Amino acid sequence: MPRYRGKLNTMIFLLILQGAAVVLLCGWYIRLTPCDSNPSNGKVHVLLLSSWRSGSSFVGQVFSQHPSVFYLMEPAWHIWTKLKNSGAQALRMAVRDLMRSVFHCDFSVTEAYLPERYNVSSLFMWSHSRALCSPPACSLTPRGDFSNQTQCLKTCEAMGHQGVQDACVSYSHVVLKSVRVFELESLYPLFEDPSLDLRIIHLVRDPRAVVRSREQSAKAFVSDSAVVLEQRSIPAAEVQYQVMQEICQSHVRISERALQTPPPFLKGRYKMVRYEDVARNPQEEIRAMYEFVGLDMTNQMEGWIYKLTHGKGKGSVKEAFQITSRNAADVSQAWRTTLPHNKVKRIQEVCKAAMSLFGYTTVNSDKEQKKLDIDLLVPRKPYQFSWLPARTERPGKG
* Per-residue pLDDT tens digits for 352-380: 999 999 999 999 999 999 999 999 999 98
- Residues of the chain under the 50 pLDDT cut: 4, 8, 12-13, 15-16, 20, 22-38, 315-326, 383-398
Question: Which residue type sits at 290?
Answer: Y
Beta carbons of 66 and 301 less than 8 angstroms apart:
yes
Q: What is the pLDDT of residue 380?
A: 80
270: left (phi over 0), alpha (psi -120 to 50) or beta: beta
Q: What is the pLDDT of residue 261?
A: 85
In whole angstroms, give the CA distance from residue 23 to residue 29.
Answer: 10
Measured CA angle at 135 (ends 129, 139), to 5 deg: 100
Q: What is the pLDDT of residue 18?
A: 59
In whole angstroms, give the CA distance from residue 312 to residue 324.
Answer: 10
Q: What is the pLDDT of residue 312?
A: 61
In whole angstroms, give the CA distance from residue 173 to residue 295.
Answer: 9
In whole angstroms, give the CA distance from residue 46 to residue 33.
Answer: 19
pTM reported for the whole predicted model: 0.83
What counts of helices (H) and strands (E) characterise the chain? 18, 5
- Relative to beta strand 270-274, strand 69-73 is unpaired
Beta carbons of 317 and 331 less than 8 angstroms apart:
no
In whole angstroms, give the CA distance from residue 252 to residue 174.
Answer: 26
Which one-letter DSSP state was computed for residue 297? P
Rg (CA), the chain: 24
Q: What is the pLDDT of residue 179?
A: 97
Which one-letter DSSP state was computed for residue 388? P
Continuous H helices in 359-397:
366-370
Written as one string, the DSSP assignment of 28-63 is HHTTTS-SSSSTTTT-EEEEEE--TTSSHHHHHHHH
In whole angstroms, give the CA distance from residue 354 to residue 348.
Answer: 9
Q: What is the pLDDT of residue 310?
A: 80
Contacts of 122 (CB under 8 A, 6+ apart): 114, 115
The CATH superfamily assigned to 44-370 is P-loop containing nucleotide triphosphate hydrolases (3.40.50.300)
Q: What is the pLDDT of residue 300?
A: 93
In whole angstroms, give the CA distance from residue 202 to residue 59.
Answer: 11
